[in-house]
A and B are shown apart, each in its own frame.
Chain A
Amino acid sequence: MTEGAQPADKPTYFEDPAVQALYQMVLILGEELAATREQLHALIKLHESGEITSVDTIDAFVPDESFDLERADWVARLMEPLTQIAEAQKRR
């Protein structure tokens, strides 16, 4: 029986560690929003088709491919400022 290894401490990427914490918070919020979007999408689609909505039917619902494009699109928009930083840096 072993308790297992712990991930090594990560380098700090910003002078102010609060900035790094903010990035993590944004990711956590993004992930939580993604979970909510997924549930809401299932709920709407089930409702539209007149099916019973329950935890089981929501969990069993499989979105079509177009929803995955929507997922990719909004994650891309969330990450867009990153590209803007790099572009601004390149122009300097």
Chain B
Amino acid sequence: MARQQSQLNRSTSHELTPVASCRDRGRQSFIFHAKRHLGQFARLSLSRQFEYPANPLPSEDPQDTDTGVIGTHVRTGHAQPEQSSAFAAWSALNIGSQQQMWRALNDMLVHQAPVLAQRAETLAARAAPGSLELSPDLEMPAYFLQTAYHGQPGGYCLDRGGDDWHAGALQEAGGNLYSRGAGTGARDSKGQAVVRFLGETFPEFAPDKVIDLGCGYGGQTSNYAAGFPDAEIHGVDLGASLLRYAHLRAKSLGLKIHFRQACASDTRFPNASFDLVVSNILLHEIPQTMLEGVMQESFRLLKPGGLVVHQDVPTQRPGTPEFQQWLSNWQVAHNDEPFWKSFSETSVPKALVNAGFSQADIFERYQPQIDGPLLWYMVGARKQ
């Protein structure tokens, strides 16, 4: 049984990890505490507006008599949080803290650019157990070129040419600070949560070949390499800068991972070439048509008996509180998450069936975070 509990998480450091100066630490601590506070405010105060709407409106729709349960609160009318001054203030501070988070992290990377560039050069010269395959002529989907996910400057498609890996460094640093501000602990890891889910649900499953779709900076891919040390590990993503960083990062951690620049719906690997296909928070960042394509590619790539597991935000949970749904919509309109809402409204099991999986082989689970208060949505299937 080649499954190990990896120790890679949000506190993992490597040779490209920037070292925060005293000023950096002060700025980032402020953003962290502001985000924590704003999150608590949303849960404890803003959410109550669904119980006590400032301006309850009579329903014009006779069918709209739902009393959707909101945590322990019951909806008593149409909540109108957008009309309240508390909502306006919270939104301004929330989006402002997000903008400042990126600025603070970007400044830290720029200040340390000479040192980090030197380390990257040393890493590049070091023999790699894994590989990096870029395709400069790869056609990028329009949505990828147009989305600055969560406000990350330049988005995931930013590529300043040459050996640039800035987008990858920003993605790792931003993901860590954002998650900690949202209440996730430093020991958390989405990839580990998937490895643990597989261990609990399919204890005999031991993949020989694993592919991580939309692997980004390679943080979760590292967890599959550590979790399945005897397996051949691959990661694909569209972003060249993300992949250059992922490759150097894996080198620094001594992990054998093969990265390829490719679309998650068209990886260019042969049919039936993987035992395990995974993705981490990919599905809510792609349009509906691409999600269908990812499911089809998952089916095509799997060997008979292989497993696919997609891990994502838990917005699809039956009975998701109305306030959580409202927060999801806020992310769409305010935090450069254009596909979050459509993902919430998509049936991933149905997309898996459409791709060729049998209904009886599909599973869904809400899996606790390794170190955090959230449940992750795990959805997948075994290919017969």
A interface residues, Cβ below 8 angstroms from B = 1-8, 10-11, 13-14, 19-20, 23-24, 27-28, 30-39, 42, 58-59, 61, 68, 71-72, 75-76, 78-79, 82-83, 85-87, 89-90, 92
How far, in angstroms, from A90 to B46 measured CA to CA in the complex?
Answer: 10
CB under 8 Å from chain A, chain B span 80-109: 84-93, 95-97, 99-100, 104
**Cβ-based interface call for B290 (8 A):** no
A-B contact pairs, 21 of them (CB 8 A): A2-B145, A2-B157, A4-B167, A5-B155, A7-B148, A7-B151, A13-B92, A19-B92, A34-B30, A35-B30, A38-B25, A38-B26, A59-B22, A75-B34, A79-B41, A79-B93, A82-B45, A86-B45, A86-B86, A89-B85, A89-B86
Binding stretch for chain A, among B56-64, B158-166, B213-221, B270-278:
B158-166
Q: Is the CB of A3 within 8 A of B158?
A: yes
CB under 8 Å from chain A, chain B span 325-365: 333-334, 336, 338
**Cβ-based interface call for B222 (8 A):** no
Given contacts A23-B93, A23-B96, A34-B26, 10 further A-B contacts (CB under 8 A): A2-B159, A4-B155, A4-B159, A4-B167, A23-B92, A38-B22, A59-B21, A76-B37, A86-B41, A89-B85
Q: Is the CB of B34 within 8 A of A82?
A: no
Residues of B contacting A38 with CB < 8 Å?
Answer: 22-23, 25-26, 29
Chain A: minimal CB distance from B92 (Å): 4
How far, in angstroms, from A31 to B52 measured CA to CA in the complex?
Answer: 34
How far, in angstroms, from A39 to B27 measured CA to CA in the complex?
Answer: 11
Residues of A contacting B338 with CB < 8 Å?
Answer: 8
Q: Is the CB of B54 within 8 A of A89?
A: yes
**Cβ-based interface call for B48 (8 A):** yes
CB under 8 Å from chain A, chain B span 224-243: none
Residues of B contacting A68 with CB < 8 Å?
Answer: 29
Residues of B contacting A82 with CB < 8 Å?
Answer: 41, 45, 86, 89-90, 93
Q: Is the CB of A14 within 8 A of B88?
A: yes
How far, in angstroms, from A32 to B24 measured CA to CA in the complex?
Answer: 10
**Cβ-based interface call for B33 (8 A):** yes
Provided the pairs A31-B30, A37-B26, A59-B21 are in contact, do residues A1 and B161 lie with their beta carbons within 8 angstroms? Answer: yes
Residues of A contacting B31 with CB < 8 Å?
Answer: 31
Residues of B contacting A78 with CB < 8 Å?
Answer: 34
The closest CB in chain B to the CB of A79 belongs to: B37
Q: Is the CB of A58 within 8 A of B22?
A: yes
Q: Is the CB of B96 within 8 A of A24?
A: yes
